[in-house]
Chain A
Amino acid sequence: MGFLPSRDRHYLSERNLKFEEVVHGLQKGLVLPQWTIPQTRLDHEQADLLIMLPDGYPDVPPDMFYLNPWVRIAATQQFPRMANVSFEFNEIHWQRWSRHNNEWRRGVDGIWTMLKRVEHALSEAT
């Protein structure tokens, strides 16, 4: 039994995207293992992607996202802006990407929107 709403489950299955529904304490996180990072200036091509799902999702928007391993700007070996704080979930110290999401269209947005936001944030990372 999972906690992912049916539309998201359907979306991820249809696109053959592997995912894990992880419960750690009272928190729930959707993990996409070996998520392909868009070709950018970052030093990894893949990382596990974590999206925390708040109680009430998808009536409530998800907020930030997290990566493991931590990724850096390849040229400078610096962490990208607002991506240098650690967040512990399921015994892993994830790299927190403080990209906030308060624009959420109920009934329209879902995991697909969040993945677009992640792709956008990674491709724009400086």
Chain B
Amino acid sequence: MTRHVLLLRETQLAEIRTHFAGAGEKEAAGYLSCGLNSCASDMWDRASVTKFLARKFFPISVESASDQHVTWKTDSFIHALHDARIEDETVALVHSHPSNFASFSAQDDQNERDLADLAQRRNGTASVLVSIVMLPNGALFGRVWKNPGRADPVDLIIVTGRRFTLHYANRGSGKSPEFLNRQALALGPAFNEDLSHLRIGVVGCGGTGSATAGLLTRLGTKYLALFDKDAVHQTNLNRLHFAGRTDAEMERYKVHVVADGIDAMGLGTQVKAYDHWISSIECREPLKCCDIIFGCTDDNVGRLFLNRFAYFYNVPLIDMGLAIDVGHGDPPRVNAFDGRVTVIQPGAACLLCREIISPIRARQESLKRTNPEEYERQKTEAYVLGEGNPSPAVVPFTTGLAAMAVEELIHRLQGLRGPNGSIEQRLRKFHLMTDRRQSHQPSADCPICGSQQYWNRGDIDPFLDITA
């Protein structure tokens, strides 16, 4: 059994809606070209996963239409198949049901069988046809034709952007566990249900990551993946949730310590732990299965990798960082006590354009990991800067930063802050007791966020078109 997911961007959905609105009470249609994210085995239910990543919408000129049917010439479909073959993409058909008919009609079955047949004859037997229907209230549902005789449902549609909107069968009719009752009183029952459908990754399990993982567990996350290569040290114990002195003495991996703590809570979160660098092959499939990522790492290579991943796979990255800068004196003079949360996804400026990642530092980190001897030699030759002093960190601030990041997810799923409540980058100056909203423009030459070439591109070789 394959789990099918469709990822759409809010701006693409707006294009589709505008096209459909132009048809008034009649049905209308278009194509979406889609990149692919194929995972052999989901980490939680072992099913294979195919995610279709919508890249571009092409409206169709119809031949005839009523409120119950729409027909068009197949020329445009053949053209779409031709382009899809060159780009290694899949074609998704999207059409409206202005009659509010919340299922596929007999007419849809017949049309789509023919199109699925055509797709396989033109683009090979591995070629599938995705079909999506939009109802007047904006609800979406879909199916995937693997061949003209078999259609499987699209299990989940996620629309990303300023808000994250989920579409799945029977949304709103599920029952949340009792421990989430008070939360449902505040946020509504659909929030709990939505969260239980998402696969969430936390990259980095230090001060901010362990706090984020703990908050996500209490919030009712069902599928959680933790990634971190480091072991617990005594100097982490001032801020690492779930970790004790014994963990530091045994130098246990942070991910296992945090995963054990989450398991012990017994709240139904199925947590998976990966003690590898995030760019390593061992983390690739688990990462690709995630729908949302929290970036809680402080290394440049890891951030750089996640930065590309967010655009290639349309997986929103909620990245956070704490910067404490103090001068001399007792107590030290505070220059900065800043917490930052940034939401990275197609349409937003990337972490490189925001100068949050240092490429030169990333190069040094890479050298240290792949050839420690050469790194040490270059340090003595003063070709590399070295790591400098350890960064200051204090638990209420690392934890508060994690709370800011998780709040952003809650708002984007549920909307509690109202229509202008999504914050692309929020900077909290803890010492000044102020929050600032920051916006950035992509650099024109940036291959990641300055053009759409990589957005929703999905699987290509090499992975992310980067050396890793």
Contact = CB atoms under 8 A, between A and B. Distances in A.
Contact of B446 (A4, A6, A106): A106
B461 A1 contact: yes
Interface string A20-61: 000001111000000000000000000000000111111111
Point out which of A6, A107, A108 has the most chain B C-beta atoms below 10 A from its C-beta. Answer: A107
A104 interface: yes
B4 to A, nearest CB: 26
A76 interface: no
Contact of A107 (B307, B357, B369, B446): B446
Interface range on chain A (Cβ under 8 Å from partner):
20 to 34
Given A25-B370, A59-B304, A59-B352, A5 B450 contact: no
B467 A55 contact: yes
B304 A56 contact: yes
Interface string B57-86: 000000000000000000000000000000
B445 A5 contact: no
Interface string A93-114: 0000010101011111000000
Interface residues of B, number: 34
Interface of B: 279, 300-301, 304-305, 307-308, 352, 357, 359-360, 362-363, 366-367, 369-371, 374, 381, 383, 443, 445-448, 450, 460-462, 465-468
B374 A87 contact: yes
A88 to B, nearest CB: 9
Contacts of A107: 443, 445-447, 450
A60 B371 contact: no
Contacts of B352: 59, 106
A98 B467 contact: no
Contact of A55 (B301, B360, B446, B447): B301
Contact of A56 (B381, B447, B467): B467
Contact of A26 (B301, B369, B381, B450): B369
A106 B447 contact: yes
Contacts of B374: 87
Contacts of A28: 467
Instruction: Give 4 nearest A-B pairs by CB, closest first.
Output: A107-B445, A26-B370, A54-B366, A57-B467
Point out which of B366, B367, B374 has the most chain A C-beta atoms below 10 A from its C-beta. Answer: B366
Given A3-B462, A104-B359, 20 more contacts: A2-B461, A3-B467, A27-B370, A28-B467, A55-B366, A56-B301, A56-B362, A57-B467, A58-B467, A59-B359, A59-B362, A61-B359, A63-B383, A100-B383, A106-B359, A106-B443, A106-B445, A107-B443, A107-B445, A107-B450
Interface of A: 1-6, 25-28, 53-61, 63, 87, 98, 100, 102, 104-108
A56 B357 CA distance: 11
A57 B445 contact: no
Contacts of B359: 56, 59-61, 104, 106
Contact of B304 (A3, A26, A60): A60
Contacts of B360: 60-61, 102
B350 to A, nearest CB: 9
B371 A58 contact: no
Nearest to B373: A88
Contacts of B383: 63, 98, 100
Contacts of B450: 107
A59 B466 contact: yes
Contacts of B446: 106-107
A82 to B, nearest CB: 10
